[in-house]
Structure 1
Amino acid sequence: MTTTTLRELNGFDQAPAVLADSTLILIDYQNTYTQGVMELDGWREALDAAAELLGRARAAGAKVIHVVNDGGEGTPYDIRAEIGRIHPRVAPVEGEPTVVKGKPDAFLGTGLDRLVEEAGNDTVVLAGFMTHMCVAFTAQGAFLRGSHVTIVADACATRPLRTAAGEVTADQLHRAALVTVHDLYGVVVAEGSQLL
């Protein structure tokens, strides 16, 4: 069964971003998600894809912004401790700012909006951890501020969850989050190589 997305109904652009004309926002690639209680399913493969995407973006001259979540001292999100630091495979280099957030939408209460404006374009490419949480909410935030959003699916990952409503695997949750974004907030591509 084929369905029509809200993006299609509204006549929004269906084309994925062009890296050279975009701002790449890498969300929460913290050690938090590679070990312990918050370890994500498929984080290694997603990190490989993110490192490749980052290399392509830098080569294309794209602006790159890193985002980290700070949960405070003693938490798995403590950015002052090794557990909360950005994984070295995708760590910032000189000239790439890092935004510190405390909410799933990286635009909320941070300077991310200003940094995207200073980059000089309205196109953002998003990738990160976790797909259903900070990636999806930041996509929504970017869409609501008027940006054209593209998410790179294979550079994202999440974890399985169990609730009173039932259990979902990490893959199911990952796909559901991407479909939600695809319906309205942005374009989803399977892998970074699909971006010119």
Structure 2
Amino acid sequence: MSEPATLRALSGLPAAPAALAESTLIMIDCQNTYTRGVMELEGVEKALDQAEALLDRARSAGVPIIHIQHDAGEGSPYDVRAEIGAIVDRVAPRGDEPVIVKAFPNSFVGTDLHERLTAAGASNLVLAGFMTHMCVNSTARGGFNLGYAPTVVANATATRALPGNDGAVSAAALQAASLAAIGDLFGIVVDDAGAIPG
């Protein structure tokens, strides 16, 4: 049996990410929600370390940065009015970095993200944040469907175990499958930010 090929490769789409200087960084749902309690993600602190380093690099390069924050209403683990739904301090917005609040997994749905990116002439997106199988995956697909070129930084993402038809699906298995699904067509997946040229 031959080695598997991605739809990206079969379609002749780029295999290497655009330069960071030519991209917009989108920090997806880096909220306290995922650092404790029922929604705590496996490897979340290491992923936040990498997201923080990526954010610092983007700030140093002067590239546009947009923060996304999920809101599921008062009393939920995603309540943006409460500390649990706040963006983690070490990756919180600075200065005039915008925050877009969303209510759906795809950051483009019901928000002005597309309009902001269009106005800025953006085409290349670098995505980091949570959860890999949910909002990162949905936003990468949504961006691709709108004509953007997403790159996902794998070690700046994380997820959690889920129940499956044949028993629990481990966080590691779900992480690998989610990244592979993105990389099949919707975006370039790199292990770490060092794989993205300046």
CA drift of 1:119 comes to 2.6
What is the rounded CA distance, in whole Å, between the counterparts of 2:120 and 2:32 in structure 1? 27
Q: Deviations over 1:87-120 (max 9, x none)?
A: 0110001121111111110001101101111232
What is the rounded CA distance, in whole Å, between the counterparts of 2:51 and 2:43 in structure 1? 12
Could you say what secondary structure the match of 2:168 adopts?
A: strand
CA drift of 1:22 comes to 0.3
Q: Point out the more displaced range, 164-173 or 5-14.
A: 164-173
CA drift of 1:61 comes to 1.5
Contact 1:131–1:158 (8 Å) recurs in 2: yes
CA drift of 1:121 comes to 2.1
Partner of 2:52: 51
Partner of 1:18: 19
* C-alpha RMSD of matched pairs (Å): 0.9
Q: Deviations over 1:18-71 (max 9, x none)?
A: 111100000000000001110000000000000000001111111000001001
Q: Could you state the TM-score of these two structures normalised by the residue count of structure 2?
A: 0.96
Matched, 1:91 2:119: no
Partner of 2:72: 71
Partner of 2:106: 105
Partner of 1:177: 178
Partner of 1:125: 126
Over the matched positions of the two proteins, sequence identity in percent amounts to: 53
Unpaired runs of 5+ residues, structure 1, are none
CA drift of 1:167 comes to 1.6
Unpaired runs of 5+ residues, structure 2, are none
Partner of 1:141: 142
CA drift of 1:9 comes to 1.2
Q: Point out the more displaced range, 186-195 or 115-124.
A: 115-124
What is the rounded CA distance, in whole Å, between the counterparts of 1:113 and 1:121 in structure 2? 9
